[in-house]
């Protein structure tokens, strides 16, 4: 019997993919066959009709990307702004310490220069033996300073402190300095370069040799060697004073200078015995505030 085309189509749709061997298997197949109501519906994207709709979609995407990037930039800007503010506070504390160390060097520098002059005069007039200079220890909170007792007076070894730029070096490595205004970066770099020059002079040494306290023969060659050594150390001492003035004036212009009363109190507390010793023997001391005030500002120098 021939079947019509519609009957054949209906039969193919309802024909199972496999033949079950038993009634249980047929029940399993029927229970696992999805019903029409359980089918997953996939919504295909609507086709874009025309360039206007295409451009609209592109604009929406671009705006979304720009908003995301802008938010990220704002977060990063706020992060670096906080780090720069913290860095400025740390630099201020370090700048105040360096300013105080420079003021100490400025105040006591002339006393050290006078000592070197008297030591050189003593070596120059000595004959075949160097008369040993008795030494006196002057204690202070910073260190013990050795003084030379001589007919003209007692000479005190120069008082000086190393200037540590630890905060500045740390902020450079962290990239914080690069986030500061360019003019601020330039001024900081100039001042801390002078700190480096000061430390180089410090490392070169400005302490009289121990041989001045020894009873040793003094021939012409030995005399010249001692005079050359003292001359070089006197030059180093003068360089320390000059660089200290530049460091202090630079910190002043950066806004890091502490109150003058605080600096005076620190000098009296740390180097009080040395100051009293210089005054007792008539060695000169400098008015550090007046010396720093005479130094031109960074703006006057074109920075």
Reported as a single tens digit per residue, the pLDDT across 37-95 is 555 555 555 555 667 776 777 777 777 777 777 766 666 766 778 899 999 999 999 99
> According to the model, what pLDDT value does residue 167 have?
95
User: If we measure between CA atoms, which residue out of 104, 127, 126, 123 comes closest to residue 115?
Assistant: 123
Q: In this structure, what token pair is assigned to residue 254?
A: 């950066």
For residue 226, CA distances in Å to 90, 117, 159, 176, 220 come to 44, 13, 21, 48, 10
Q: In this structure, what token pair is assigned to residue 61?
A: 């995407």
Q: In this structure, what token pair is assigned to residue 277?
A: 């010793």
How many other C-beta atoms are found inside a 10 Å radius of the C-beta of residue 280?
A: 10
> According to the model, what pLDDT value does residue 40 have?
55
More confident residue, 246 or 112: 246
> Angle between the 220-254 and 182-204 helix axes, to the nearest 10 degrees?
160
- Find out whether 150 and 118 touch, Cβ atoms under 8 Å: yes
pLDDT score of 272 more than 90: no
pLDDT score of 256 more than 80: yes
Tell me which residue has tokens 């029940």.
Answer: 27
User: If we measure between CA atoms, which residue out of 184, 162, 303 comes closest to residue 243?
Assistant: 162
pLDDT score of 12 more than 60: no
Q: In this structure, what token pair is assigned to residue 185?
A: 């970066």
> According to the model, what pLDDT value does residue 19 have?
44
Q: In this structure, what token pair is assigned to residue 243?
A: 């660089």
Where is mean pLDDT largest: 12-16, 134-138, 182-186, 267-271? Answer: 182-186
Taking the C-alpha atoms of residue 135 and residue 128, their distance in angstroms, rounded to an integer, is 22
Domain borders along the chain are: 71-294
More confident residue, 214 or 288: 288
> According to the model, what pLDDT value does residue 26 have?
44
Mean residue pLDDT of the chain comes to 79
């Amino acid at each position: 019997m021939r079947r019509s085309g519609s009957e054949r189509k209906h039969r193919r749709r309802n024909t199972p993919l496999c033949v079950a061997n038993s009634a249980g298997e047929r029940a399993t197949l029927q229970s696992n066959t999805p019903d029409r109501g359980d089918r997953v519906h996939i919504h295909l994207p609507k086709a874009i009709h025309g360039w206007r709709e295409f451009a609209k979609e592109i604009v929406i995407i671009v705006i979304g990307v720009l908003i995301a990037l802008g938010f990220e930039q704002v977060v990063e800007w706020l992060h670096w702004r906080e780090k720069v503010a913290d860095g400025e506070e740390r630099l201020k504390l370090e700048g105040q310490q360096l300013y105080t160390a420079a003021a100490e060097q400025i105040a006591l520098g002339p006393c050290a220069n006078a000592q070197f002059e008297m030591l050189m005069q003593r070596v120059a007039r000595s004959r075949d033996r160097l008369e040993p200079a008795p030494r006196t220890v002057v204690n202070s909170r910073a260190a013990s300073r050795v003084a030379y007792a001589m007919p003209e007076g007692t000479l005190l070894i120069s008082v000086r402190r190393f200037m540590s730029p630890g905060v500045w070096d740390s902020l450079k490595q962290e990239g914080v300095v690069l986030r500061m205004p360019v003019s601020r970066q330039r001024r900081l770099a100039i001042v801390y370069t002078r700190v480096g020059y000061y430390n180089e002079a410090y490392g070169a040494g400005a302490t009289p040799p121990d041989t001045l306290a020894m009873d040793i023969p003094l021939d012409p060659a030995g005399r010249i060697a001692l005079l050359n050594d003292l001359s070089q150390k006197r030059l180093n001492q003068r360089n320390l004073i000059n660089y200290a003035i530049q460091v202090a004036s630079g910190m002043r212009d950066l806004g890091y200078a502490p109150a003058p009363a605080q600096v005076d109190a620190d000098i009296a507390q740390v180097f009080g015995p040395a100051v009293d010793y210089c005054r007792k023997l008539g060695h000169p001391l400098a008015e550090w505030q007046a010396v720093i005030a005479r130094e031109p500002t960074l703006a006057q120098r074109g920075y």
